[in-house]
Structure 1
Amino acid sequence: MPAIPASTKISLAQRLALHAKQRRPQLTGVHVRYHGQFGYVEGELAGGERLPLMRLRYGGSAHRWGLAIHTPSTGGYEAAIWFTGSPQEALDLVCDLYIASTDP
């Protein structure tokens, strides 16, 4: 798989940050770091704590990513081969799993 282009890295980080701002008020930030063909996504809570959420695997375009969900019990990532969706939908999925909703 080719390396992630710089423009795709910027786009992914911006899309996830905007989505979190609009849909995930419990997050004060979203941080993405890159290694090879992977983007590692962390969510930042109000107190500054960062939670590893997921690893996205670049699929050759800005809209094709594989998902691996962070597993706190092992500290690793579990591939979600059943998942199909956008990075924003992946963020919603892992937030629903790991971050308490602020909705009543």
Structure 2
Amino acid sequence: MPVPSAKLKDLIEGTVDHHASQRWPRLAEVTIRWRGSYGYLIAHPNDDPDDDEQIPLARIEYLGIPDEWGFAIYQASTEDYRDAILPSGAMTGTPIEALDCACALYLPEPKDHPE
């Protein structure tokens, strides 16, 4: 399994967090915990600045191509990740597509965002 470089990890983390701040205003930030070729997307709500709540969202898998990542959604009922298909119907996509898919399941849609 290919492992993303430190530079690619930093790029993905910054891109995902920036996108989340623009698209998902209820989130203070999105962090990624890396383990081998996998990145685990974790949302941090901005409801209460003193609250350390973390919401597991999804797992992305580096496939060796910077714009093609595997995607698994976090399932709270089993506290595990299950491979998923993106809304586009694709089995792989960008980390931002994975973030938006997971947030659409776990967070209310922003009122001011056109679909």
TM over 0.5: yes
After TM superposition, the structure 1 = structure 2 runs for residues 74-89 of structure 1, keeping only pairs within 5 Å, are 74-81=78-85, 82-89=90-97
**60, 69, 75: which one pairs with 1:71?**
75
Indicate the percent of aligned positions where both proteins have the same amino acid: 38
- 1:31-82 deviations in whole A, cap 9, x for unaligned? 1010011000101001331100000000102211100000000000010155
- The structural deviation recorded for 1:4 is 1.5
* Root mean square deviation, CA, Å: 1.5
Q: In the aligned structure 1, how far is the partner of 2:75 from the partner of 2:9?
A: 24
Q: Does 1:96 align with 2:100?
A: no
The 1:2–1:102 alpha-carbon spacing in structure 2 relative to 1, beyond 3 Å, is: closer
CA–CA distance in 2 between the matches of 1:15 and 1:57?
16
Amino acid at match of 1:85: G
Aligned residue-pair number: 104
Supply the AA of the counterpart residue of 2:54: R
**Pair member with larger Rg:** 2
Unaligned runs of 5+ in 2: none
Q: Is the 8 A contact 1:26 1:101 kept in 2?
A: no
Contact 2:23 2:110 (C-alpha < 8 Å) held by counterparts: no
TM-score, normalised to structure 1's length? 0.91
